[in-house]
Amino acid sequence: VQLQASGGGLVQAGGSLRLSCAASGGSNYAMGWFRQAPGKEREFVAAISWRGIIIKYADSVKGRFTISRDNVKNTIFLQMNSLKPEDTAIYYCATNSYMDRLERGDSGSWGQGTLVTVSS
| pLDDT tens digits for range 21-72 | 999 977 789 999 999 999 999 999 999 999 999 999 999 999 999 999 999 9
Q: pLDDT exceeding 90 applies to what percent of the chain?
A: 88
The mean predicted confidence, pLDDT, of the chain is 95
pLDDT at position 101 is: 93
Report which of residues 93 and 109 the model is more confident about: 93
DSSP the chain: -EEEEE--EEEETT--EEEEEEEES--S-EEEEEEE-TTS--EEEEEE-TTS--EEE-TTTTTTEEEEEETTTTEEEEEE-S--GGG-EEEEEEEESSHHHHHTT--S---S-EEEEEE-
pLDDT at position 109 is: 82
Mean pLDDT of 8-18: 98
